[in-house]
Amino acid sequence: MERDAAFTQKKAERACLRVHLREKYRLPKSEMDENQIQMAGDDVDLPEDLRKMVDEDQEEEEDKDSILGHLQNLQNMDLDTIKEKAQATFTEMKQTAEQKCSVM
């Protein structure tokens, strides 16, 4: 009975992890996972090591979404590449305007 209880608890923990991942990636919910969590008594949390992994992922995503994260991405970009893209876009817009406007 203890082994069955431990097995049910592990299944519920795994189901809890899947629920968290589905929420994170906005995937459809699964009734099977919800049923497993309910069978364990709704007193199920992620295992400690998995909780640490989830927390680290959340911190990483928050850093990327912050202003500092965007500034770091800008620092990593090559300025020559940015200038080339801007020049190409400007040239393309100029050509399109010349084709559409007979005065130019």
At residue 3, the pLDDT reads 94
64-101: pLDDT as tens digits: 666 666 666 666 666 677 778 888 888 888 888 888 77
Q: What is the pLDDT of residue 42?
A: 59
- pTM for this entry: 0.47
Cα 57 from Cα 59, distance rounded (Å): 5
Angle between helices 31-39 and 2-24 (to 10 degrees): 140
Higher-confidence position of 102 and 6: 6
Domain containing residue 80? 1-102
pLDDT band at 102 (very low <50, low <70, confident <90, very high): low
Structural domain tally of the chain? 1
Tens-digit pLDDT profile for residues 4-60? 988 888 888 888 888 888 887 888 888 888 888 788 775 677 777 777 877 787 777
